[in-house]
């Protein structure tokens, strides 16, 4: 509302909205019937976060559903549009829902199985029947895997009004053999981790305080069933694991959350690998500049919300047009490019067949 009334500039949430656009772009989005079928009773919609952070788990979960459910299980990889809603871009949110509804109708209006409580809410007013994967897994059964692991559960804030979901999650944890500790605030009073509402993009300090509040007095591994929560906890050094990782993956809490660039790459690779392995469709690989930078710069890029793809665009345009300054003392080339509402500066130099990046920063400004 504030964005539509010009009370808040779009750039405050531009990064998150662009990430949603990438999730629903041709490079990442796809929808198919189960291999070997032309109609589906169900549709698995893992959401944009699970495929970005744990693509292998998405594939294993889908394989399990296909083997366990009758009538065919379609697959759709994309975002429910919640980023646009949180950012106040209601037109984009409506467009996204309309696009998803059209894809769902093309697949024959199947029952949607979601792996995200927020997706369930977003899609509830779009399609006829939405179920969460946890209640489905209770019915189908899960692999005979025992995890003798002490965990403190963190309910997703999107599941505050989803009692059936919260119950199913705890039943699955019992089947896994986990020793579950309930925190002081859970269920209907569960706190937000700082991801919901895009707080981490508009007020990062507040988001960090929200994350710390969720983790206080917790010694065991933090068990989540929201990938946004898992990644928030992991990024501050806490042991955190998503329930689907316990069921189908190998992570028990030690794996660190991927950065923003890797998350987008994972979505692209997930589409490529699933289409190749399940539907025997080969996608042409895109040639991309190879970037080299040290870990310290990598942390800065993450903090400054600068993607590798942004850096590539700056270098590609600079090299194609020769619009760069070469610093004689260091040998670095300095170039800039406006992408959306943000202008990016990159200090770089060729290194073999790659490009060594030494510095990068951005401002919300236009150079005329």
pLDDT tens, 229-281?
A: 999 999 999 999 999 999 998 777 788 899 999 999 999 999 999 999 999 99
B/e letters for 216-231, b = 16+ CB within 10 Å, e = fewer, are eebebbbbbbbbbbbb
Measured CA to CA, the distance from residue 357 to residue 294 in angstroms comes to 8
User: Any idea of the CA torsion for 306, 90, 92, 59, to the nearest 10 degrees?
Assistant: 70
Nearest to 242, CA basis, from 56, 92, 73:
56
Asked if pLDDT for residue 88 goes beyond 70, the answer is yes
Q: Which three-class secondary structure state does DSSP give residue 336?
A: strand
DSSP 194: S
Dihedral sign computed on CA atoms, order 46, 49, 50, 52: positive
CA 33 from centre of chain: 23
More confident of the two residues 118 and 12: 118
More confident of the two residues 318 and 217: 318
Domain ranges for the chain, please list them: 11-277, 291-363
Q: In terms of DSSP bridges, do strands 325-326 and 130-132 run parallel, antiparallel, or are they unpaired?
A: unpaired
> Exposed/middle/buried for 133, CB within 10 Å: 0-12, 13-18, 19+?
buried
From the CB of residue 368, how many other CB atoms can be counted at a distance below 10 Å? 3
Per-residue pLDDT, 9: 65
Query: For residues 356 and 323, is the Cβ–Cβ distance under 8 A?
Result: no
122-148, pLDDT tens digit by residue? Answer: 999 888 899 999 999 999 999 988 888
Q: Which three-class secondary structure state does DSSP give residue 154?
A: strand
Measured CA to CA, the distance from residue 99 to residue 92 in angstroms comes to 10
Rounded average pLDDT over 181-200: 92
- What are the strands of the beta sheet with 150-154, ordered from one edge? 179-181, 150-154, 221-224, 240-242
- What are the strands of the beta sheet with 342-351, ordered from one edge? 291-292, 354-363, 342-351, 333-339, 325-326
Measured CA to CA, the distance from residue 220 to residue 180 in angstroms comes to 9
CA 63 from centre of chain: 20
pTM, two decimal places: 0.93
**Residue 355 to residues 232, 288, 311, 358, Cα–Cα distance (Å):** 31, 11, 10, 10
5-59, pLDDT tens digit by residue? Answer: 777 666 779 999 999 999 999 999 999 999 999 999 999 999 999 999 999 999 9
More confident of the two residues 147 and 345: 345
Across-strand partners of 73? 42
Query: For residues 8 and 2, is the Cβ–Cβ distance under 8 A?
Result: yes
């Amino acid at each position: 509302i504030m964005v539509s009334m010009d009370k808040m500039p779009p750039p405050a949430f531009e990064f998150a909205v662009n990430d949603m656009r990438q999730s629903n772009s041709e490079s990442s989005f796809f929808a198919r019937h189960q291999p070997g079928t032309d109609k589906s009773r169900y549709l698995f919609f893992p959401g944009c976060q699970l495929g970005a952070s744990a693509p292998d788990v998405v594939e294993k979960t889908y394989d399990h559903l296909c083997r366990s459910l009758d009538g065919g299980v379609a697959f759709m990889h994309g975002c429910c549009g919640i980023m646009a809603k949180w950012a106040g871009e209601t037109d984009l949110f409506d467009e996204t829902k309309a696009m998803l509804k059209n894809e769902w109708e093309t697949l024959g209006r199947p029952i949607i199985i979601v792996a995200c409580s927020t997706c369930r809410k977003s899609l509830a007013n779009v399609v006829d029947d939405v179920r969460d994967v946890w209640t489905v897994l209770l019915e189908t059964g899960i692999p005979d895997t025992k995890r003798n692991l002490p965990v403190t559960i963190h309910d997703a804030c999107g599941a505050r009004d989803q009692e059936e979901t919260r119950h199913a999650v705890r039943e699955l944890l019992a089947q896994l053999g986990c020793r579950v500790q309930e925190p002081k605030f859970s269920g209907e009073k569960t706190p937000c981790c700082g991801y919901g509402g895009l707080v981490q993009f508009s007020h990062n300090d507040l988001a960090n305080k929200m994350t710390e509040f969720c983790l206080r007095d917790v010694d065991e591994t933090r068990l989540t069933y929201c990938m946004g929560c898992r990644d928030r906890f992991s990024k501050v050094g806490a042991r955190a694991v998503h329930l689907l990782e316990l069921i189908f993956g190998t992570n028990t809490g030690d794996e660190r959350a991927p950065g923003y660039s890797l998350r987008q790459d994972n979505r692209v690779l997930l589409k490529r690998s699933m289409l190749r392995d399940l539907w025997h469709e080969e996608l042409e690989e895109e040639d991309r500049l190879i970037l080299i930078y040290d870990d310290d710069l990598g942390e800065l890029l993450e903090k400054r919300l600068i993607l590798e793809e942004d850096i590539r665009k700056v270098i590609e345009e600079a090299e194609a047009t020769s619009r760069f300054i070469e610093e004689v003392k260091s040998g670095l080339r300095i170039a800039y490019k406006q992408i959306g509402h943000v202008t990016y500066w990159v200090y770089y130099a060729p290194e073999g067949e790659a490009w060594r990046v030494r510095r990068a920063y951005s401002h919300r400004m236009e150079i005329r």
